[in-house]
Structure 1
Amino acid sequence: MAKITAVIDIGSNSARMAVFKKTSRFGFYLLREEKSKVRISEGAYENGGNLQDFAIERAINALREFLLIAKSLKVRKILAVATSAVRDAPNRSEFLSRVRRELGINIKVIDGDKEAFFGGVAAANLLYEKNGVTIDIGGGSTELALIKRKNIEKTISLKLGTVRLKELYFDKGDIEGAKKHIQKEIKRLDGEFKQNKVFGIGGTIRALSQVIMKKIEYPLDILHGFTYDVKDHYKFLKSIVKMKDDELLKIGVKPERLDVIRPGVLIFTELLDFLGAKQVITSGVGVREGVFLSDLLRHDNHKFPENFNPSVRTIIDVYQIDTKLSSYETKIALELFDLLKDDFKLDDKYKLHLTYAIKLSRAGELIDFYEAHKHTDYILLNSLHYGFRHCDRLLMSKIIRYYKRKKIKKREIEKYKCLLPQKDIIEKLCNIFWVAKLININLSMPEVNISKKGRQITIEGENLYLAKERSKSRELFFELNISEKGKK
């Protein structure tokens, strides 16, 4: 049976538990996630950092029920960490002892550099970009990790947190004091952290991305990997600091985040200024995924193998895809692509989309053979969480959805026009995809010779009767001649 691991993260604002199920050596998926707004740091910053009894009680109650969920899911390993508020608390040992005594959980208090490292591990392995700097704004601190070529080069933890600044400054109406505090702390950063791309981790940055997605009417309801240019939204972000609660609700800020969003935005915009960031890539993963991956990849230098994608592997595992068939069909598709790319004016970058679309094209058959293309479209769009841009996920899913057609209706892709290539490009990729699947219609992976003369593609081989018969029912952008060896 696949190993099931739970990761518990006790932050200053929330306690969260993520449960991961492995499907193979490196394949995994999120089985369950729970959150409790325990606010363990509440009242601490005004009382010498000491955790208050009422906050400890909330944390204990939440952890007790986390354990019930873990037991029900047959979790075999629990990894529990605590961050800023607990590590800064003079009375943290009392809290840790009580949790160990009453619940049997051994919580590891991690320092700021380790917290930044875990966020970096998650971003480096599960986002599409290889270079940048993570910003993880929490309730008590903010962590940054410098990532180059998916390696974590440097980490730092700043004493800048949403709850910390709320209690010390915002509750007293002292926004200028908060700004000076932030700028003083930011001076600890050296020039190496100045990067064009920022990986945004944590509740504040995710909340801001959701607000921006609503503002621009973004066509996908997918947060992880959502990317925006700083210059397009900088003034809007700055304006949030002075918004009233009713204004925040109107733009899409959730009620439970009203009291911490303003200090969070101030921290974020000041950091963007200092770093000179031009682009923000939203990360739906953070410390919890970093803890899990650090355990999973502990013998692999905390990195997946080169060219490995965990989401692709998981879909193959879960939907029991025959990789021999998909490898054969991919080979046919890429051979066709190379022959037709000049005539079709196709960029080589589309080879990636064809490859993964074919590799995963049979996923939906496990749900319903007759509507497999529709189910696979949904699966790819909603399960290719890691390592792909939104535009990549969308194009792969739409190739599968529409490959049986010559023409795609404009209204079917109109809402995605900001993410997809021109309609005729999608249709041409669908043509290539269809022929690759057609040649292997009998699943025998026949040996074939493919040649091109003018705009005609000739495919010659044995056991192509069904393919030849079916080819007559489809009009393509090119001429297709299927010939069986030794037969007229």
Structure 2
Amino acid sequence: MICGIVDLGSNTIRLSIYHWEGQDFRLLLNKKTMAGLAGYVQGGVLSDSGILVACRTLSSYRALLDNFQVSKMHVFATASLRNISNTGEAVETIRDVTGIPVEVLSGDAEAALSFKGAVLPGGVSTGLLADIGGGSFELVSYEDMSITSACSLPVGSLSLYTRFVNGLFPTPEERKAMRAYVEEQLDRARTAGVRRSRLCGVGGTIRALNKLSVDVFHKPPESRSMTAEELRELYKLLKKDGRDTLRQILHAAPDRVHTLVPGLVILNTVIKAYGVEQVTASASGVREGYLMDRVMKL
């Protein structure tokens, strides 16, 4: 069978088309729209303009699937609709305008689905999972392939940028404020006190950081592993805030030029707090977990 899974995120809206049969699946097509819905939130309310952006994107994805004669499209939202005060209104408007229902995942559900999609298909047996999105990040501690604790924190690469940064790159004072805020959020996490040497990283921010790591440290293109020291070196590079830094980011991850530093602040704060030594950028995550759990019923 073939179906489309849409992740309605705070920074990006992604469509993934999968072919699945029994317990096996493979990705056929992946399409991304940099919608930046978090930028349309004012006073906790997603504006009509933001809702319209979501409607237009979902309608274009529905038309694309129709062209491929794919009838099944499943749409879920994360912090983009979860962390606003007008969630019900937004979901209802999207359904009325497009005819498309949207499932809004709780933070715990998102964390569990990210774990199912990224770690269970052959990841290390004990470690941390960090899913850094545009509007939130999910942190899961697991041992022997079983979750021991999990939480969702209302801070992501785009929301952190929107809240603290006035220019393209954050100033030293803005970086300090972002780091303090992330540390404050981590203090509330149910994984506090856990020490893990390995971290599985999920989401566009970590994939972009891995591309930058490959570029900066001249690693093989297929490499998906980064050491804590490499990530500290990347942070030092990005702090320089000059033309060379901008050129480096534009070469590796042009669509994340403004959110890469905030995302790295989150990741490096997690690394320091939990004693992480190595990070693996997962090629799969919450969409695959959603497919396995909600569609394939595994």
Is TM > 0.5 for Structure 1 vs Structure 2? yes
Which residue matches 1:183? 183
CA contact (8 A) 1:238 1:266 kept: no
Say which is worse superposed, 197-206 or 70-79, in terms of deviation: 70-79
Distance change (3 Å), C-alpha of 1:217 and 1:235: closer
Which residue matches 1:218? 219
Give, as a single letter, the amino acid of the residue that structure 1 aligns with 2:60.
Answer: E
Give, as a single letter, the amino acid of the residue that structure 2 aligns with 1:264.
Answer: G
Structure with higher strand content:
2
Work out which structure has the larger RCO, using CA pairs closer than 8 Å and 6 or more positions apart in sequence: 2
Q: Which has the larger radius of gyration?
A: 1
CA contact (8 A) 1:238 1:269 kept: no
CA contact (8 A) 1:143 1:156 kept: yes
Give, as a single letter, the amino acid of the residue that structure 2 aligns with 1:229.
Answer: T
Residue 137 of structure 2 corresponds to residue 136 of structure 1: no
Deviations 1:334-385 (CA, angstroms, capped at 9, x unpaired): xxxxxxxxxxxxxxxxxxxxxxxxxxxxxxxxxxxxxxxxxxxxxxxxxxxx
CA contact (8 A) 2:12 2:36 kept: yes
Distance change (3 Å), C-alpha of 1:242 and 1:48: farther
Distance change (3 Å), C-alpha of 1:180 and 1:40: same
Distance change (3 Å), C-alpha of 1:238 and 1:151: farther
Which residue matches 1:41? 38
In 1, the alpha carbon distance for the partners of 2:242 and 2:201 equals 24
Which residue matches 1:93? 88
Which residue matches 2:162? 167
> TM-score scaled to structure 2, two decimals?
0.90
What SS does structure 2 have at the residue aligned with 1:171? coil
Gaps of 5+ in 2: none
Give, as a single letter, the amino acid of the residue that structure 1 aligns with 2:212.
Answer: V
CA contact (8 A) 1:124 1:151 kept: no
What SS does structure 1 have at the residue aligned with 2:10? coil
Deviations 1:10-66 (CA, angstroms, capped at 9, x unpaired): 1100111111101x312211111111111111141xx21111222222211111110
Which residue matches 2:118? 123
In 1, the alpha carbon distance for the partners of 2:239 and 2:131 equals 18
Alignment equivalent of 2:51, drawn from 38, 56, 79: 56
In 1, the alpha carbon distance for the partners of 2:131 and 2:7 equals 14
Distance change (3 Å), C-alpha of 1:233 and 1:12: closer
Q: How does 1:394-473 map to 2 (within 5 A)?
A: none
Instruction: State the shift of 1:286 in Å.
Output: 1.4
Which residue matches 1:281? 280
Which residue matches 2:19? 21
In 2, the alpha carbon distance for the partners of 1:294 and 1:245 equals 45
Distance change (3 Å), C-alpha of 1:9 and 1:193: farther
In 1, the alpha carbon distance for the partners of 2:240 and 2:296 equals 44
CA contact (8 A) 2:4 2:15 kept: yes
Q: CA RMSD in A?
A: 2.0
Which residue matches 1:70? 65
Q: How does 1:84-483 map to 2 (within 5 A)?
A: 84-171=79-166, 173=171, 174-189=174-189, 190-191=191-192, 193-219=194-220, 221-222=221-222, 226-244=224-242, 246-250=244-248, 252-296=251-295, 298=297, 300=298
Identity of aligned residues (%): 26
Distance change (3 Å), C-alpha of 1:250 and 1:136: same
In 2, the alpha carbon distance for the partners of 1:82 and 1:287 equals 11
In 2, the alpha carbon distance for the partners of 1:236 and 1:246 equals 13
Distance change (3 Å), C-alpha of 1:10 and 1:214: same
Instruction: State the shift of 1:72 in Å.
Output: 2.3
Gaps of 5+ in 1: 301-488
> TM-score scaled to structure 1, two decimals?
0.56
Which residue matches 1:454? none
In 2, the alpha carbon distance for the partners of 1:76 and 1:130 equals 37
CA contact (8 A) 1:245 1:258 kept: no
